[in-house]
Each structure stands twice: as C-alpha cells, then as structure tokens.
Amino acid sequence: MMFNSLGFALFLPVVFLIYWLLRRSLRWQNVFVLAASYFFYGCWDWCFLLLIAFTSAASWLSGLWIGRMSRRHGRWVMWGNVALNLLILGVFKYFDFFAQSFADLFLGGRADGLLLHLVLPVGISFYTFQALSYTIDVYRGTVVPTRDAVAFFAYVSFFPQLVAGPIERASSLLPQFHAPRRFDYALAVDGLRQMLWGFFKKMVVADSCAVYVDHAFANIGSANGATLLVGAVLFSVQIYGDFSGYSDIAIGCAKLFGIRLRRNFDVPYFSRDIAEFWRRWHISLTSWFRDYVYIPLGGSRVGCWRVVFNTFVIFLLSGFWHGANWTFLLWGAYNAVLFLPLILLGRNRRFRDVPSAGRCLPTAADAGRMALTFVLVTVGWVVFRAASVGEAVAYLRGVVSHGLLSHPDGLRGLGIGVLMAALPLMVAVEWCNRDAEHGLARVPRCRWLRWMCYMCLIFIILAFAQTGEMPFIYFQF
C-alpha cells in the first residue's frame, strides 16, 4: 500500500478513528497500531510479515538477554543479533550481486545455479537498521530493555515510517509507545499540513520530473548535451521531492496519532558545502552511520590517515546500503572525496546555522556556495541514477560532449508546464520556511487566506498529478 494510492486514502481515516476510540487503553491502542501496521505492510506481500516479525522478535529477545547478562556476555548476544540481522539483509539484498560478481570474475559471467533471484522485501533496510540500533543501545546502556513485546513490535513496524523511514531510535520512539497518548488538535492539524506539502512535492513536482528524467536516461546515446543536463538537474529535483515528500507524509501522518518522528530533511539544497548537505539530507541514515560506525571507529579524533579511512568507510557503507550495484559504491566514494578536504581542514562544521538567516534573499556568497554544492551533488546523482558505471560515464560524457547549447528534447506538454510553475513554488515556500520544521509550518493567520492556500494545493495535486500510482524511489532500498 502506497501513500499516493486510493487504498491508503481509505485506510488512514479508518485507522485514525479506531485508534482514538481506543484511547482509554494504551495496551489495546498499541495492539491496534501493530495490527494496522502489519496489514499495511502485508498489502505488498503477506509472506514478508514473517521476516519483519522474526527481526522484531530476535531484537526484542536480545535486548532482554543483554539486560540480564554481564557486559562481557551481553557483547556476544549483541554481536550475534547484529550478525543475524545483517545476514538476513545480506541474503535478500546482496547475495545475487556478489554471486554475479564472482561469476564475472571467475566463471566468464555464467552465474546459472548461483543466483537465488529473491524478491527484495520492501523497507527491509530501514526496519533492520531500526531494530539494530535498539540492540546496540541496550548494550551501551543508553536504552533500558523493554519487556513489552507489543510496544516493541509496534516500534519496529509503525506504518507511517516503516517502508522508507525516518530510521527511528528506540530512545526517541519506543517511549512514545509506553506513554498514554492524548489527541492533540494542533499537532494533528500541523500533521495534515505537512502531509499536504509532502503530497505536493511527490505527486506534482517529483512525478512530473520523473517523466523527463526517464526520457533522458533512456536516450543517453542519442540525446544532446542540453537534454542530458536538464535530465540530471531534474533528477536532483525528483529525488528530493520524492524522498522528502515521503518523509513529510510519514512524519505528518504520525502526528495524527500523537507520535513525533525525527526530521529527515532540512532543506538540503540550500547547503553551502557538501558537509552541510550531508547534515541536511536523509538525516536519520547519516546520523545512524555516524553514531554506530564513524564514531566507534574513532571519528575525526584520530590520525590523518585514519580519518581518511573512517570517512571512506561510512560513505561506502552508505552507498552500499542503497543497493547492490557498483554505481552506489562509486557514488559513496565520490561523496567521500568531496567530504575529505573539509574534514581534514577542520571546515566540515563551518555552516551549521540557517542559510542567510533573517534575509529575504541569500547573500551573493551564499548563493554561489549553494549553486556549487548543487552542481557537485547533481553529478553524484547521475551516478546514483545510472543502471551501471558505464552508463553513468556515458551520461556525464554526453552532457559536455555535444549540443550543450542546443534546445533540450522533451520539454513540451502539460507536464513540463506544470513543473515550471510548481518547481519555483516549492523552492520559494521552502526558502521562506527554511528555519521551520516543514514547508507549511507557517501559514497565514487569516482563516480565509489560509484555507485558500490549502484548497489551491489540493486542486493542483488532484488536477495535475501524474496518472497512476507512481512508486516512491526509496521503496527499492
């Protein structure tokens, strides 16, 4: 079941109503959340419910055992659960990749009999990392192991963020399933506003970009440089509108149930260098690798060569987390190369404030830095989007080789017209709310003007969204 589907439009009001009818019983409320989340996930494939249930059970039991054992014995349980969950993730997500790579190196590419051809369970990378963080935090002593299995299973499978995050920590989300929840009208209204903004970014901006981006990547050999350049820029817009749109819908949906999720995007394309970009993009994953990989390796408190090693480790792992393809590893390495000079020169924390705070427009210096960062990030997104390293090289070569000053192909039709109007609107709204939680966090105080804004967005979504249920990009990860 996808957020941008008729099924979800029917599912959400029913779940919302029953959930708050059960408000007098926290236990039954959590049971219902768990059942609704499993139904939501089971709409893709009921067989994979066994997998998420097994992951949840293994992590919950590991937490209980760690809490009863000495630190030395608890370490073995913690590492055992980490290995078990990573093994499951590895078999489903990476086995065929390594088998095919082995066949390419030693068997002349003949991988018959080696490949499992397993269907990748949707969201497995997200809920696996969420379960792992609980076990590790229990071992570290920063989280008390819970005896409430229902609350824990609901924490792992909470349907708004189950499929594509944010990747929550037990220290933040699990206590919310232990405490009674009261309906908060202001929070629910803010959640609906955030969902509305997320649907606009996904269904109008991102999906409109997708039509042109697919055309550009499907015609790399014949398209001129201008077509490929516009395709690269629009993919940067698409992946942001798609993934941040999902995050806004997820976070806003959780607010309807009195649950607060962490922010996952913080206007990343207004970043003034690559370090700031990675503090603002997919925050829950970036912070996960920082806290559970980078800092345990020594972070930036070690020697120069060790810092280089640590930086490449987290970016390569981040790339590989996205999928079993050499393009993701290359994308991770590319970002590590961009990040290294900043961290070695101690400039990786230079920009931690709101870009051009208090100004209507960015300063000339900030605008230049933002433009350069966007260009560097866009080059990386081409590698990320390409089906192979060869395709990525061909695409980038095609951008600069011929026809860069020509007219881009495919820039015609209603979809492009809608995009040319919706994209500036998205940029303007997010710039004006760059110091707020989401794009519609601030709305006009005048009621009729506020509702006119809502109605205009709803009309735009209903009238100009692409036909069909276009999947979210990060569902494949």
- For residues 150 and 31, is the Cβ–Cβ distance under 8 A? yes
In which residue are the tokens 């559970």 written?
292
Residue 191 identity (one-letter amino acid): G
- How far, in Å, are 165, 167, 312 from residue 282 at the CA level? 9, 9, 18
Neighbours of 343 (CB within 10 A): 18
What are residue 45's phi and psi, to 5 degrees? -165, 115
b/e sequence 173-204, b meaning 16+ C-beta within 10 Å: bbebbeeebeeeeebbebbebbbbbbbbbbbb
Q: Indicate which residues carry an active-site annotation.
A: 322
| Ramachandran area for residue 296 (φ above 0: left; ψ -120 to 50: alpha; else beta) | alpha
- Cβ atoms of 283 and 128 closer than 8 Å: no
- Separation of alpha carbons 446 and 450, rounded Å: 6
Cα–Cα dist 227/405, whole Å: 10
DSSP assignment letter at 405: T
Q: Residue 1: helix, strand or coil by DSSP? A: coil
User: Could you give the CA distance from residue 414 to residue 422 in angstroms, rounded to a whole number?
Assistant: 12
Q: At what angle do helices 225-256 and 207-218 cross, to 10 degrees?
A: 150
Instruction: Please answer whether residues 167 and 284 qualify as being in contact, where contact means their C-beta atoms are separated by less than 8 angstroms.
Output: yes
Q: What is the Cα–Cα distance from 7 to 461, expressed in whole angstroms?
A: 17
Residue 103 CA, distance from chain mean position: 32
Asked if 205 contacts 426 with a C-beta cutoff of 8 angstroms, the reply is yes
Nearest to 160 by CA among 264, 82, 236, 59: 264
